[in-house]
Amino acid sequence: MTITAYSWLAVASLPGLYAFTTVYGLVSAAFQCLIPSTVASLTPDLRMVGSRLGMAFSTLSFAALTGPPIGGALQSAMGGQYWGATVFAATSTAVCFGLMGAARVAKVGWGLRAKG
């Protein structure tokens, strides 16, 4: 996902933008549908999945609320160029990837085939 977000920097034409938008939408949707299963796998008592999903999505709401205004402010500060917003979005994705990796390591350790 992070690599896909950083690849936006290479888009220089309208057909390239269409291709990027298609690929980014597919990759983004693939990762977003993993959120409920990840929360369920981290929850030992399945009766708590609903409340934990609510907490996870309420946390995500802060990103949805603050991301577009920050991106717009970065675009304005860059004179209408998108590269500042692109780097912000891609770096935010990288930070989230690192936090999710840390949560997995805290839950099951460093083994790749380990299950919680």
pLDDT tens column, 19-57 = 999 999 999 898 888 889 888 888 888 899 999 999 989
For residue 114, the model assigns a pLDDT of 72
54-73 pLDDT, tens digit each: 998 998 899 889 989 999 99
Give me the amino acid identity at 87: V
Q: Which pair of tokens denotes residue 94? A: 């990288």
User: Domain segments of the chain: what residues?
Assistant: 2-108
Mean pLDDT across the stretch 75-104?
A: 89
Residues 6+ apart with CB under 8 A from 39: 49, 52, 53, 56
